[in-house]
Structure 1
Amino acid sequence: MKIQTIVLFTILWASLSNANGQEISSKRFDPQTPIAYPKQPNNILNESRSPLRLPQVDNYKILKCDFHMHTVFSDGTVWPTTRVEEAFREGLDAISITEHLEFHHLHAPDLNATNLNREYEIARQTAERLGMILIPGAEVTREVPAGHFNILFVKDANLLEQFINYENHYDPSNLTETLEAAKKQGCFIFWNHPSYKHPRNEAEWYNIHETLYRKGLINGIEVANSNMYIPLVQQWAEEKQLTMFSNSDYHNSICMPTGCYRPMTLVFAKERSQEGIREALDNRRTVAFAQNYLYGAEELIEPLFINSLETRLLSTTDKETIVEITNTTGLNFDLELITNEIYRPVTPHFILFGGKTTTIVLKNKTTEKKKSLPRQINVKVNNFVPAAGKVLESSIAF
């Protein structure tokens, strides 16, 4: 009887086990069917990331940086280490957490409000572990017409608390003294989102900005902030030789869709370090990147375009020339081929997306022998802006 019971139990267990193709046991198992998702990593270091791919330009290291963001230590909603991990997932090289000094702990009043460096101290260990460059920074917040200013490479933000008017946090009366004190710490100062809270939602260079500029207290300016770009601000940067920035100004948690990238400042550094970034900022070697547009000096943005391309001549006859173009980077190009005395493009305007290959057909407009035709076509890159109101004009060689 005992043997029969054991046999019956074994048969019953086997039938239950095979009823739906899965073993019934107390052991954990990973789903093995095609419908199952891949096993999720439990460590950020094991995650698959898709950073923005950029070409090599001369001997520079092009660092992807975001110098303007917030956490719960002012008016943001996330913890400082989250900002580091978000940037790591997106493949950034450097960030700066820039809390409003005047509103420190606005969203976290239960935290220690006496240390204005606290968010940097919390984030630093995570940044070091992930190989991120974390630059200590802060935001000086004053009412219009003064505006907001980010200060980078802060040695001790607590030394600036004496300039906060806790009865009127936006009091602009001592802005010059505040930025002078930051300058004494060796800070790099740039003006944030110049049109913010302007009564006409415009950018305007007031007397206070001229005073700060003449005192050396404005070293850079946000040409782009989040999804906002103002051509006049880029013109100011050109005329006054200010370093151009593009930053996210994130307050909430973020997750960029596949193929999209946050606003960032591309820094052409001689080395991947805080010192390398500072030297590049001081010498205005930056390009502002936002919404697939690049704003910066032509000598910086044109190599980003040319060095991204690989071309191959597919065929040529007396009547037409066919060229294959591959974009080896993650940048997207809004291209407009220009008809000249030699070539007429069949499709003048097209988008060359990052990582993609396309072909262009050129009608030959000359009866000269094929071997004597120059192998290049002039092009406008409509999303590359070397100066306010202009687009990049370059050429594609094949």
Structure 2
Amino acid sequence: MIRLLSSVTISIFIGQLSFGHGSASKHAPDEARKIDFPDTAHHKTLVLDPHTHSVFSDGHVWPRIRISEAIRDGLDAIAITEHLEYQPHINDIPHPDRNKSYEEAASSAKYSNLLVIPGAEITRSLPASHMNALFIQDANKLLSVPETEASYTPNEFSSQAKAWPPQNAVDAANEQGAFLFWNHAWWRTDYPNGIPEVSDFHKRNIEAGLLHGIEIANGKHYSEDAFQIALDNNLTLIGASDVHDLIDWDYEPHKGGHRPVTLVFANEKSTDSLKEALFDRRTVVWFKNSLIGRDAHLYPLLEASLSIKGATYRYSEILAVTIVNTSDCDFQLRNLSPYGLHERTAVFTVPQHSSQTLQVRTGTKVESISLEFEVLNAYTAPNQTATLTLESTVTSLPSKPNP
């Protein structure tokens, strides 16, 4: 089937190809598609995509393209996590050293501010399923395939690689100090009903401190069941693109879309600080304009993103309140306050990096205002939305002079 590309996509793709033989770091962030969230009161907010692929496993682009995309999207960090056991291009791109993809990506990003995290995907069927290992030192030690004089076909290689017990790969990753998370637990290949279950394999590794997180959003899919598993088992919440094609094809940022990412609340922008924050479960997932996280991490982000920047009586007893949004999320709010809104319904949107002015009927003039809102696209548990209170002092303009 021939895939037709829009002129916008073609121009973006050509721009990316220009970095095939040079450093992708020359590509600056694109302000129109940059993923931008404010720092919280106590942490830096780092944007991480911890699950991507290139032609060094079953992806369809060179690692440098992944770096170029990440820089254009304004990411702080990325991991290219190749399937160790899936090597469909093994005859075209033989690479006995499974660190090659990371080395290519890191070389491309060396003059940029992008953190490139070494990682790999451990690929098995149930009960282990797929798991990503980040911050590894040597991907080769997570794989065992008998040597042979004849070249393996892709299917033969996969079969031999998957024969090695997955626990061995998990142990090898942890020996390197890796952060491990369970990928797309709800996949229908594992659970035809889309409802994941925590296997004995996962239980053992969680209890032993060898499995640290779980994806709750992967690609175009979100699982509230995986979210609940994370809460029940004290696992880090992870969101990732799992991109194999171009980001522009899969997420259409030129049309306002975005890849799912993990927002990590770190002490500073460094690999060590990012790793420490992931192990400490300080994350929020951004998926299809929704923010998903634990109370302790979601609320500081909401408080940093939304604020009142003016509450004024303008020649009447109806209060004009301006709410400012400094994040990339279009916040959908529902008024829970005792005060009614004038000329609009209780539900409204504060667009990203913009503001919305409300007319609030306070009845009589007040000196300060406290407004409570339900944030309809921010979740602290499955089907449980966040509430946020915004406060401000009130100013009054001089009375309007009589004509």
TM-score normalised per structure 1 = 0.82
Partners in 1 of 2:76 and 2:42 — Cα distance? 17
Structure 2 residue 375 is matched with structure 1 residue 381: yes
Larger radius of gyration: 1
Amino acid at match of 1:370: K
Q: Do the aligned partners of residues 187 and 163 (structure 1) sit closer, same or farther apart at CA in structure 2, a change above 3 Å counting?
A: farther
Q: Secondary structure at the match of 2:311?
A: strand
Q: Could you say which residue in structure 2 is the equivalent of 1:132?
A: 114
- 1:230-241 alignment to 2 at 5 Å? 230-241=223-234
Partners in 2 of 1:167 and 1:107 — Cα distance? 12
CA contact (8 A) 1:226 1:247 kept: yes
Partners in 1 of 2:192 and 2:289 — Cα distance? 29
1:153 maps to which of 135, 140, 151: 135
Partners in 1 of 2:29 and 2:59 — Cα distance? 27
Amino acid at match of 1:293: S
CA contact (8 A) 1:264 1:289 kept: yes
Q: Could you say which residue in structure 1 is the equivalent of 2:64?
A: 81
CA contact (8 A) 2:46 2:265 kept: yes
2:341 maps to which of 336, 341, 345: 345
Structure 2 residue 362 is matched with structure 1 residue 371: no
- 1:264 deviates by 0.5
Q: Could you say which residue in structure 1 is the equivalent of 2:325?
A: 327
CA contact (8 A) 1:146 1:172 kept: no
Amino acid at match of 1:395: T
- 1:354 deviates by 0.6
CA contact (8 A) 2:247 2:259 kept: no
Q: Do the aligned partners of residues 167 and 272 (structure 1) sit closer, same or farther apart at CA in structure 2, a change above 3 Å counting?
A: closer
CA contact (8 A) 2:324 2:356 kept: yes
Q: Could you say which residue in structure 2 is the equivalent of 1:114?
A: 96
Partners in 1 of 2:144 and 2:98 — Cα distance? 12
CA contact (8 A) 1:53 1:330 kept: yes
CA contact (8 A) 2:36 2:74 kept: no
- What are the Cα deviations for residues 236-256 of structure 1, in whole angstroms up to 9, with x where unaligned? 212211111100000001222
Which structure has the highest strand share of the two?
2
1:295 maps to which of 277, 292, 296: 292
Q: Could you say which residue in structure 2 is the equivalent of 1:274?
A: 271
Amino acid at match of 1:382: L
- 1:35-54 alignment to 2 at 5 Å? 45=26, 47=28, 49-50=30-31, 51-54=34-37
CA contact (8 A) 1:212 1:218 kept: yes
- 1:160 deviates by 2.1
Amino acid at match of 2:101: E
Partners in 2 of 1:161 and 1:326 — Cα distance? 50
Amino acid at match of 1:386: T
Moved more, 225-234 or 167-176: 167-176
Q: Do the aligned partners of residues 161 and 186 (structure 1) sit closer, same or farther apart at CA in structure 2, a change above 3 Å counting?
A: same
Number of positions where the alignment pairs a residue of Structure 1 with one of Structure 2? 352
Moved more, 251-260 or 352-361: 251-260
CA contact (8 A) 2:27 2:72 kept: no
- 1:315 deviates by 1.5
- 1:185-334 alignment to 2 at 5 Å? 185-196=176-187, 197=189, 198-255=191-248, 256-308=253-305, 309-315=307-313, 319-334=317-332
Q: Do the aligned partners of residues 182 and 46 (structure 1) sit closer, same or farther apart at CA in structure 2, a change above 3 Å counting?
A: closer
Partners in 1 of 2:260 and 2:317 — Cα distance? 44
- What are the Cα deviations for residues 210-230 of structure 1, in whole angstroms up to 9, with x where unaligned? 122222221000011112111
- 1:1-12 alignment to 2 at 5 Å? none
- 1:174 deviates by 1.2
- 1:10-89 alignment to 2 at 5 Å? 45=26, 47=28, 49-50=30-31, 51-89=34-72
Partners in 1 of 2:285 and 2:163 — Cα distance? 28
Q: Could you say which residue in structure 2 is the equivalent of 1:391?
A: 385
Partners in 2 of 1:386 and 1:229 — Cα distance? 14
Q: Secondary structure at the match of 1:376?
A: strand
Partners in 1 of 2:254 and 2:82 — Cα distance? 26
Q: Could you say which residue in structure 2 is the equivalent of 1:174?
A: 165
CA contact (8 A) 2:29 2:74 kept: no
- What are the Cα deviations for residues 184-216 of structure 1, in whole angstroms up to 9, with x where unaligned? 111111000001122222222222221222222
- 1:355 deviates by 2.0
Partners in 1 of 2:374 and 2:222 — Cα distance? 20
Between the two proteins, what is the percent identity of the paired residues?
Answer: 34
Amino acid at match of 1:345: L
Partners in 1 of 2:161 and 2:94 — Cα distance? 22
Q: Secondary structure at the match of 1:209?
A: helix
CA contact (8 A) 1:235 1:387 kept: yes
CA contact (8 A) 1:142 1:169 kept: no
How large is the RMSD of aligned CA atoms in angstroms?
A: 2.3
- 1:258 deviates by 4.7
- 1:171 deviates by 4.1
Q: Which runs of 5+ in 1 are unaligned?
A: 1-39
Amino acid at match of 1:182: A
CA contact (8 A) 2:186 2:226 kept: no
- 1:266 deviates by 0.6
Partners in 2 of 1:59 and 1:395 — Cα distance? 19
CA contact (8 A) 2:317 2:365 kept: no
Q: Which runs of 5+ in 2 are unaligned?
A: 1-14, 147-155, 393-403
